[in-house]
Chain A
């Protein structure tokens, strides 16, 4: 593997890790593990932990994918491996 593609792969993995942490925190974290604690806080009529499990995590998932698509596009161009 040449230097450029090794660096590209490293940048890709760093981005994936970052997004997967967010992905894990909103669903398994806020939606499941910490839900009982978060339920003490209210968002309108929603207990917060319940809101993450039934609404919030899905909105964050969408944001995750579009952020990923955008950042990957930038990384592609930075390492000059983008499609024409």
Chain B
């Protein structure tokens, strides 16, 4: 069966499965709609949280970024998993005990103020919508490549499908749908990785393969990769930093607190039956996430190796009779010269996958020195030795540009894996993007229908009216996200990292203080949220444009890009959170302390036993 038919088959079958589950589990009451009636097992919940969590950025974009960034890419790995430790210990059990459905509800009740809850709604909407733009872009890229439609059409199809199961199924539909999506996406990620690890190192477990020697030799994979990339002018793979150690540090902090502060993840812990389950649920979520996250660095390094080997035969991997890359021990061990004229791949002999990706514009070749061969190296290197060698070989600049986002999707094609694996990856990428989009939409709709309409605008709204308002706001959010997805501020991972900064700087501090500081009052919390959110948005908009509209950047105003100690906008959330904490404490000091019943409420939230601290019925 050909690739196109197989892809339609895999994507079609997985979608019918998701829709079938959503239909089977359609929501009845409002409680069912938001939190699946509070009766989800920790392992089931962990798996669904994992699918919810792992978005197009994790699935499609992350390994490519790691391949580009090398060691520094570890900030995504540590940041996006380390946040779960904070979530599990500092937030989840207490929010579960509190017994409310949404994050703004918690903030509104704990800080005894509708203003606080409304500000939290604003923070939540900003973070979620920023996040969802990246998802819709991811859906578009995946659909356009695999279904052979344009990027715009891909986004429209994605909007329609997300709308159907998010709106008709509600949370319960989403929980069980996401279990199915997790299984599809994890198979799609690990199966090709196992194949590639086996080809390259002879070890079927990618996590071990990455630390092994190349098959049939005693040359370690990472040291060979270091040698290849440094010899071609790139920075050493196992040590290269993103800017500076300081930037890596605060970037990691931002992603961690963003993970703990993202509303669509927190809301997951309202859906387990007990406080005890909330604690272990985060652990299970992390187990399921780590299966992908520990595989990603192996995918990154091996794909980078395969890519270099494809365009430069001196690396020591060469296509066999079927075109599959296999290790040539002689060449590999001899450290042949990458600058030898015949080492570079002849453009006309390039493999089929390059031709396919050239059509998408994400992979480009420009024959600068007119020799008909592809020279792939870092022409901006400061290494004089590399420059001299390139000049001597008559190289006139790098001739191949590869978009980082294609690494995972193209990986099975580069390694020439069977067509069904490639089709599976298509289904997995779509599952990742759609599941996260659906979870985010739910957080958006509950914030609007419950925290804004029911709490502030019209407290007398019926259950039915509230459910309808939720569905309408979901539809509105899908249209907005789709529109922004057609005109994105950048690709998935970059946009998504910004969303983490926004959530971490605005929502994480008030939730944490709400639990751990009995004396924190509403004035402090509100001022903190506003300060954290505005300073983060200011720095981000300075780099990325006001509301991500291109052409409205104002980096000159803040003294050039990354002017704050070399910190990038993606990493700025940590600074925003610091400002949030400081402002909150200062304002708290000069205003009066919270009423006695609120202090008693905080105490009751801290112990697991007893009825829900606040009646969850509504």
Contact = CB atoms under 8 A, between A and B. Distances in A.
Interface of A: 1, 5, 8-9, 12, 16, 19-20, 23, 27-28, 31-33, 35-36, 39, 43-47, 49-51, 53-55, 57-59, 61-62, 64-66, 68-69, 72-73, 76, 81-83
Contacts of B207: 55
A69 B211 CA distance: 31
A28 B606 contact: no
28 contacts: A5-B607, A8-B606, A19-B85, A32-B78, A32-B245, A32-B248, A32-B252, A33-B245, A39-B239, A43-B211, A44-B211, A44-B212, A50-B71, A50-B239, A53-B78, A54-B73, A54-B74, A54-B297, A55-B207, A57-B78, A61-B286, A65-B89, A65-B279, A65-B286, A68-B88, A76-B276, A76-B609, A82-B276
Given A35-B71, A55-B294, A59-B290, A5 B82 contact: no
Contact of A65 (B211, B283, B297, B609): B283
Classify the secondary structure of A's interface with B: helix
A1 B603 contact: yes
Contacts, number: 137
A32 B73 CA distance: 11
Q: Which 4 A-B pairs have the closest CB atoms?
A: A53-B74, A45-B220, A65-B283, A44-B211
Contact of B78 (A5, A43, A58): A58
B387 to A, nearest CB: 26
Contacts of A62: 283, 286-287, 290
A50 to B, nearest CB: 4
Contacts of A35: 71
A37 B382 CA distance: 24
A51 to B, nearest CB: 7
A60 to B, nearest CB: 9
B78 to A, nearest CB: 5
Nearest to A76: B608
A65 B84 contact: yes
A68 B275 CA distance: 13
A11 B137 CA distance: 47
B584 to A, nearest CB: 20
B587 interface: no
A33 B208 CA distance: 24
Contacts of A5: 603, 606-607
A47 B82 CA distance: 21
B249 interface: yes
B77 interface: yes
Interface string B80-103: 011011001110010000000000
A61 B80 CA distance: 11
Contacts of A36: 239
Contacts of B608: 76, 81-83
Contacts of A59: 290, 294
Interface size of B as a range: 35 or more
A8 B608 CA distance: 11
B293 interface: yes
B11 interface: no
Contacts of B297: 54-55
B279 A69 contact: yes
Nearest to A19: B89
Contacts of B293: 58
Given A54-B297, A59-B294, A82-B608, 12 more contacts: A32-B249, A46-B210, A51-B211, A54-B210, A55-B207, A57-B78, A61-B82, A65-B279, A65-B283, A66-B280, A69-B283, A82-B609
A69 B92 CA distance: 12
Contacts of B90: 16
Nearest to A35: B71
Contacts of A46: 210-211, 222
A81 B75 CA distance: 38
B238 interface: yes
B531 interface: no
B283 A66 contact: yes
Nearest to A51: B211
